Chain A
Amino acid sequence: MSHAVLLEARHVAKSFGRRRVLTDATLAVGPGELIGVTGENGSGKTTLLKILARLLRPDAGEFVCDGRLGYCPQAPLVFERLSVTENFAFFAAAYGLEDWPAAMARWADRLRFEPSLGQLVGELSGGTRQKLNLALALMHEPEVLLLDEPYAGFDWETYLGFWELAETLCREGRGVVVVSHFLYDRSRFDRICELVDGVLACG
């Protein structure tokens, strides 16, 4: 792997029982790159991202990640009976962050959910929960970001704000992979990788 690549996956394959979801997925993410992974429903986009995030073990293939990884799952994986601040505290302990209140304030401001910091997550709207889900993937300043439809539930303004944020993150030298099935997102990516019949074809 050259040092211009932050994350590289080669010939990744995954089956669930007899169903082959991924047959050959090869992907390299470089610094400052914004890559879109597209495909129809059930094409294996989420499976691919879970494998890259090391949440799933592939049946075949190899991958290397050079740097901190941030993963934002499609459905918010957060603690409903804890407040937003407590969720930040829990994830900060996992990342080993000392100055997490500053990181929390920064991301709550950037994603505009500061008024919700004291609220229990179970009482939040779907959109705010998703913002928290995204912020928890960003708070440790990762070099590589894997975002699985991170804007689900966002209002239009926040949705546009997300893309500004993604571009800023890329300008800062991070590699960003976004799973999307919106046609109108396509123009925003540096490269689009399409999953068809388990094969990932990158343009």
Chain B
Amino acid sequence: MRLRRLGTAWQLTLRGLLRRRIVLLLFFLVPSLFGGLIVLTTTSRPIQFQLASLGEAVFVTVPQRHEGLVFICLTAVGLLTAFLALDLVQRDAETHRRLVLCGYRPGELVAARLGVLLCVIALVAAYVVSLLPIFFEPERFGLVLLGLILGGWVYGCYGLLVGAVFRRELEGVLFVVLLAAIDVGWLQNPIYYAEAQNQAIIRSLPAYFPAQVSMAAAFTAESVLRPAVGSVVYGAGLLALALLVYVLRMRAGRR
């Protein structure tokens, strides 16, 4: 019965999302636009940087454009999934509360939305990574895809948390934009990161592990296991917090 309820919630949440055609269109337009801007504003001049997860001995030298493309792919996936997660939690929040009153468990409704989110993350990451070979062949294509999926996972869970904490859209959007712009849009770029004064702060931000996976996979043959595990654990921590806040919110009126 619980599985059937979960299946119904997942299916109907996905159907509701698929009916928002403009949102779906933006999911494909935004990465293309971001990628286009990188292609237009960078050159093929080689740049050299280090990746924190690989230690100080490893230097990576790649064309500026290639580095920029991988980084902007992660930015696009992170931003889009965080916004989607925020919307999935905030939209119809009162109707979901009514469903809880009628018998759904809050965890079932969160799990259904997480299921929808994971499907979208996989699709968007696959689409974004499929654009890369137009410009260059990443060292390990499959692991770059994994890095982007992990970026979507961490930022999706962050979006769920922000959506659970803030009831109103504006506060939620601000929190998503502020962190995403600074973290996945700037600080995690290894070109900035290698020169940063306080790397400990940067390493504690959500996009650190996924950025390391994507970059190491795209440009080196080094292992990405540790940052990949770090991404999963970081996202799971955010998800657990989101679930806790959501369940408390949904049960606020119940005795």
Query: Which A residues lie at the B interface, using CB under 8 A?
Result: 50-51, 53-57, 71, 73, 77-82, 86, 89-91, 93-96, 120, 140
- How many residue-residue contacts, CB under 8 A, span A and B? 66
**A54: which B residues are within 8 A, CB to CB?**
101, 253-255
Contacts known (A71-B98, A77-B95, A79-B92); A93 close to B5, Cβ less than 8 A: yes
**Residues on A with beta carbons closer than 8 Å to the beta carbon of B8:** 89-90, 93
Which residue, B1, B101, B102, has most C-beta atoms of chain A within 10 A?
A: B102
For residue B175, which residues in chain A have a CB less than 8 angstroms away from its CB? none
Contacts A55-B97, A82-B12 hold; do A93 and B104 have CB atoms under 8 A apart? yes
Assuming the contacts A56-B253, A89-B8, A89-B12, asked whether A96 and B103 have C-beta atoms less than 8 A apart, the reply is: yes
**Given the known A-B contacts A54-B255, A57-B255, A90-B99, are A81 and B19 also in contact in the complex, defined by CB atoms under 8 Å?**
yes
- Any A CB within 8 A of the CB of B195: no
A93 interface neighbour in B4, B20, B97, B253, Cβ under 8 Å: B4
Please, which residue of chain B has its CB at the minimum distance from the CB of A83?
B15
List chain B residues, Cβ under 8 A from A81.
15-17, 19-20
B56 within 8 A of A: no
Main SS class of interface, B: helix
B187 to nearest A CB, angstroms? 36
> Are A57 and B253 touching (Cβ within 8 A)?
yes
Interfacial chain A residues near B255, Cβ < 8 Å: 54, 57
CB–CB B99/A91 < 8 A? yes
| Range for the number of chain B residues in contact with chain A | 20 to 34
Contact partner, B101, options A55, A80, A86, A93, Cβ 8 Å: A55
Residue among B4, B12, B101, B103 making CB contact with A53, cutoff 8 Å: B101
Within 8 A of A (CB), among B1-35: 1, 4-5, 8-9, 12, 15-17, 19-20
**What's the least CB distance linking A116 to chain B, in Å?**
17
Q: Show 29 residue pairs from A and B whose CB-CB distance is below 8 angstroms, ordered by the A residue.
A: A50-B253, A51-B253, A54-B255, A55-B98, A55-B253, A56-B252, A56-B253, A57-B254, A79-B12, A79-B16, A81-B17, A81-B19, A81-B20, A82-B12, A86-B12, A90-B8, A90-B12, A90-B99, A91-B102, A93-B4, A93-B104, A94-B5, A94-B99, A94-B100, A94-B103, A94-B104, A95-B102, A95-B103, A140-B102
In the complex formed, the residue of A with least CB distance to B7 is A93
A82 to B91, CA, bound (A): 13
The 7 closest A-B pairs by CB, nearest first: A94-B102, A93-B8, A81-B16, A94-B103, A77-B95, A55-B253, A77-B98
Q: Are A78 and B19 in contact (CB under 8 A)?
A: no
The minimal Cβ–Cβ distance linking B250 to chain A, given in whole angstroms, is 10
Q: How far is B178's CA from A21's CA once the two chains are assembled, in angstroms?
A: 38
> Given A78-B95, A93-B4, A95-B102, 19 other A-B contacts at CB below 8 A?
A54-B253, A54-B254, A56-B252, A57-B252, A57-B254, A71-B98, A73-B98, A77-B98, A79-B92, A80-B92, A82-B15, A90-B8, A90-B9, A91-B102, A93-B8, A94-B103, A94-B104, A95-B103, A120-B19
